[in-house]
Structure 1
Amino acid sequence: MKTHLLLLASLLLSHASFAAPPNVVLVMADDQGWGDTGYNGHPDLKTPNLDTLAKSGVRLNRFYTAHFNCSPTRASVMTGRHPDRMGTFNPGAPIRAEELTVAKVLQSAGYATGHFGKWHLNGKNGDKNTTDMPGRAILASDPLSPGKMGFDEWVSADNFFDLDPVLGRNGVPEKFHGDSSDVTTDEALKFIKKQAAAGKPFLSVVWFGSPHVPHIALPADKAPYSKLSEEEQNYYGEITAVDRSVGRLRAALRELKVADNTIFWYNSDNGGHEGAKSTGYLRGEKGTLWEGGVRVPAVVEWPARITQPFISETPCSTLDIYPTVLAATGAVAQNQIQPLDGISLLPLFDRQTETRSKAIPFWAHGRDGGGHAALLEWPYKLHTNPASGRGNKKNKKGAAPMAATLLYDVSKDPKETTDLAAQEPERVAKMTAELNAWKASVEKSLAGADYPQKAGK
Structure 2
Amino acid sequence: MNGWSLFVGFLFMVGTVCADQLPDGQQEKPNIILMMCDDLGWGDVGFNGNSIIQTPQLDHLAEKGAVLTHFYSVGPVCSPTRASFLTGRHYYRMGVWTANKGHLPKEEYTLARMLKKQGYATGHFGKWHLGTLSRTVSAKGKGRRPDVNFAPPWQRDYDESFVTESAVCTWDPGLGKRAVNNPYYHNGKPVDEPPVGCDSRVIMDKAISFIRGAVNAGKPFVAVIWFHAPHEDIKAGPEYLKMYEGYGEAAHYYGCITAVDDQVGRLCSELEDLGITENTALFFCSDNGPEGGEPEDRLKTRRAGSSGPFSGRKRSMFDGGVRVPGMAVWPGRIAPGSRIDVPMSVLDYLPTVCEMTGAELLPNRELDGQNILPILLGEQAVHEKSIPFRFRQYAGLVEGTFKLIIESPTDASSDRLFDLSNDVAEQNNVVSRYPEKAQRMRRQILEFMASAQKSHRGDEYDAGDYSPVDPWQELGKPADQVKRRMKSRKSGEE
TM over 0.5: yes
Residue 309 of structure 1 and its aligned partner are, at CA, apart by: 3.0
Q: Would you say 1:245 and 2:255 are equivalent positions? A: no
> What is the percent sequence identity of the aligned residues?
37
Residue 412 of structure 1 and its aligned partner are, at CA, apart by: 1.2
Q: Would you say 1:358 and 2:364 are equivalent positions? A: no
Q: Deviations over 1:312-337 (max 9, x none)?
A: 0110000001111111111124x456
Residue 311 of structure 1 and its aligned partner are, at CA, apart by: 0.5
Q: Which amino acid aligns with 1:360?
A: I
Q: Would you say 1:404 and 2:421 are equivalent positions? A: no
Q: Deviations over 1:75-108 (max 9, x none)?
A: 1011000000000111112112211111011112
Does structure 1 retain, via aligned residues, the 8 Å contact 2:132–2:152? no
Does structure 1 retain, via aligned residues, the 8 Å contact 2:288–2:321? yes
TM-score normalised by structure 1 residue count: 0.86
Q: Which amino acid aligns with 2:415?
A: T
Residue 357 of structure 1 and its aligned partner are, at CA, apart by: 0.7
Secondary structure at the counterpart of residue 397 of structure 2: strand
Q: Would you say 1:445 and 2:450 are equivalent positions? A: no
Does structure 2 retain, via aligned residues, the 8 Å contact 1:337–1:451? no
Secondary structure at the counterpart of residue 209 of structure 2: helix
Residue 307 of structure 1 and its aligned partner are, at CA, apart by: 4.0
Does structure 2 retain, via aligned residues, the 8 Å contact 1:410–1:416? yes
Instruction: Measure the CA separation in 1 of the matches of 2:283 and 2:242.
Output: 29
Q: Would you say 1:256 and 2:274 are equivalent positions? A: yes
Q: Would you say 1:415 and 2:434 are equivalent positions? A: no
Instruction: Measure the CA separation in 2 of the matches of 1:319 and 1:452.
Output: 22
Q: Which amino acid aligns with 1:149?
A: R
Corresponding residue for residue 67 of structure 2: 59
Corresponding residue for residue 21 of structure 2: 15
Does structure 1 retain, via aligned residues, the 8 Å contact 2:133–2:152? no
Q: Which amino acid aligns with 1:254?
A: E
Instruction: Measure the CA separation in 2 of the matches of 1:88 and 1:432.
Output: 23
Does structure 1 retain, via aligned residues, the 8 Å contact 2:139–2:165? no
Residue 444 of structure 1 and its aligned partner are, at CA, apart by: 1.2
Corresponding residue for residue 48 of structure 1: 56
Does structure 2 retain, via aligned residues, the 8 Å contact 1:28–1:269? yes
Secondary structure at the counterpart of residue 433 of structure 1: helix
Corresponding residue for residue 319 of structure 2: 291
Instruction: Measure the CA separation in 2 of the matches of 1:281 and 1:342.
Output: 26
Does structure 1 retain, via aligned residues, the 8 Å contact 2:29–2:357? yes
Does structure 2 retain, via aligned residues, the 8 Å contact 1:95–1:123? no
Instruction: Measure the CA separation in 2 of the matches of 1:324 and 1:358.
Output: 13
Distance 1:107 1:283, change over 3 A: same
Distance 1:178 1:437, change over 3 A: same
Task: State how 1:199-214 maps to structure 2 within 5 Å.
Answer: 199-214=218-233
Residue 235 of structure 1 and its aligned partner are, at CA, apart by: 0.7
Match of 1:72 among 50, 56, 80: 80
Q: Which amino acid aligns with 1:150?
A: D
Match of 1:34 among 19, 26, 42: 42
Corresponding residue for residue 223 of structure 1: 242
Structure 1 residue runs without a partner (length 5+)? 1-8, 132-138, 387-401
Q: Which amino acid aligns with 1:248?
A: R
Q: Deviations over 1:53-79 (max 9, x none)?
A: 221111111000121111110110110
Q: Would you say 1:114 and 2:123 are equivalent positions? A: yes
Structure 1, 318-327 or 273-282: larger mean CA deviation: 273-282
Corresponding residue for residue 253 of structure 2: 235
Secondary structure at the counterpart of residue 339 of structure 2: strand
Corresponding residue for residue 353 of structure 2: 325
Structure 2 residue runs without a partner (length 5+)? 1-13, 141-145, 175-182, 295-304, 467-494
Corresponding residue for residue 344 of structure 1: 371
Residue 362 of structure 1 and its aligned partner are, at CA, apart by: 0.3
Q: Which amino acid aligns with 1:170?
A: N
Task: State how 1:125-136 maps to structure 2 within 5 Å.
Answer: 129=138
Distance 1:176 1:379, change over 3 A: same
Distance 1:340 1:194, change over 3 A: same
Secondary structure at the counterpart of residue 27 of structure 1: strand
Instruction: Measure the CA separation in 2 of the matches of 1:35 and 1:88.
Output: 27
Q: Would you say 1:89 and 2:111 are equivalent positions? A: no
Instruction: Measure the CA separation in 1 of the matches of 2:41 and 2:426.
Output: 17
Q: Which amino acid aligns with 2:382?
A: T
Corresponding residue for residue 289 of structure 2: 271
Instruction: Measure the CA separation in 2 of the matches of 1:124 and 1:407.
Output: 41
Q: Deviations over 1:101-144 (max 9, x none)?
A: 1101111211001111000111479x95389xxxxxxx9x9841
The root-mean-square deviation of aligned C-alpha atoms, in Å, is 2.6
Corresponding residue for residue 171 of structure 1: 188
Instruction: Measure the CA separation in 1 of the matches of 2:347 and 2:30.
Output: 20
Match of 1:161 among 148, 164, 168: 168
Instruction: Measure the CA separation in 1 of the matches of 2:316 and 2:133.
Output: 23
Corresponding residue for residue 113 of structure 2: 104
Q: Deviations over 1:233-262 (max 9, x none)?
A: 111111111111111111111111111111
Distance 1:130 1:58, change over 3 A: closer
Corresponding residue for residue 485 of structure 2: none
Instruction: Measure the CA separation in 2 of the matches of 1:377 and 1:150.
Output: 34
Residue 194 of structure 1 and its aligned partner are, at CA, apart by: 1.4
Instruction: Measure the CA separation in 2 of the matches of 1:114 and 1:45.
Output: 29
TM-score normalised by structure 2 residue count: 0.80
Secondary structure at the counterpart of residue 421 of structure 1: coil
Task: State how 1:142-153 maps to structure 2 within 5 Å.
Answer: 143-153=150-160
Task: State how 1:369-384 maps to structure 2 within 5 Å.
Answer: 371-384=393-406
